[in-house]
Amino acid sequence: MKKAIFPGTFDPFTIGHFSVVERALTFMDEIVIGIGINENKDTYFPIEKREKMIRELYKDNPRVQVMSYDCLTIDFAQQVNAQFIVRGIRTVKDFEYEETIADINRKLAGIETILLFTEPELTCISSTTVRELLGYNKDISQFIPKGMNIND
């Protein structure tokens, strides 16, 4: 069984993130969406809210799990018995960062990273920009997956 983690802060989970999960499910048997707890990041939604929103989104898909973690990503991957890490990349800058981390993860734990390029129409969407829109009370519905409720 091929199992991957898809790690991130997901504050909030966007249509770009959703696309990565959907595409990864075409070649992975199971995906664990791992919400990393990063004390150095200012988040808009508390961790419990992010978990709830993403779990609700995938409630009918037994191949997707949602968990939070407070350790190195490779340690989390090993805890859930994942052989792969899936990451989405939008820019060359993302690629350079992800390549370095992937090399370290492979050396430390033998875990391979699979990079999925974002579809061109989604490259402008990031959690950072969606958070900023939320801060100005703008409608973000076009940037988050259909059916995701941010108001509960």
Encode the chain in three state secondary structure.
CCEEEEEECCCCCCHHHHHHHHHHCCCCCEEEEEEECCCCCCCCCCHHHHHHHHHHHCCCCCCEEEEEECCCHHHHHHHCCCCEEEEEECCHHHHHHHHHHHHHHHHHHCCEEEEEECCHHHCCCCHHHHHHHHHCCCCCHHHCCCCCCCCC
89 is an annotated ligand-binding site residue: yes
pLDDT at 151 over 90: no
Domain contains 32: yes
The annotation status of 26 as a binding-site residue, yes or no, is no
User: So what's the pLDDT on residue 38?
Assistant: 80
Question: Any binding-site annotation on 16?
Answer: no
Any domain includes 14: yes
In a domain, 142, yes or no: no
- Look at residue 40 in the predicted model and tell me its pLDDT: 80
Q: Report pTM.
A: 0.95
pLDDT at 152 over 80: no
149 has pLDDT over 90: no
Q: What is the count of structural domains for the chain? A: 1
57 is known to lie in a ligand binding site? no
Q: Which of 76, 78, 70 is nearest to 110 (CA)?
A: 78
Q: Which domain holds residue 85?
A: 1-134
Q: Is 68 annotated as a binding residue?
A: no
Q: 141 labelled as ligand-binding?
A: no
Q: How high is the pLDDT of residue 14?
A: 97
The model's confidence at residue 117, banded by pLDDT at 50, 70 and 90, is very high
Q: What is the mean pLDDT of the chain?
A: 95
Q: Per the domain annotation, does 81 fall within a domain? A: yes
pLDDT band at 24 (very low <50, low <70, confident <90, very high): very high
pLDDT digits (tens, 9 = 90+) for 63-90: 999 999 999 999 999 999 999 999 999 9
Q: Is 126 annotated as a binding residue?
A: yes
124 labeled binding residue:
yes
Is 5 annotated to bind a ligand? Reply is: no
- Within a 10 A sphere around the Cβ of 17, how many other Cβ atoms? 24
Position 122 in a domain: yes
**CATH number for the domain that contains residue 128:** 3.40.50.620
Q: Do the annotations mark residue 10 as ligand-binding?
A: yes
Q: What is the structure's pLDDT at 39?
A: 78
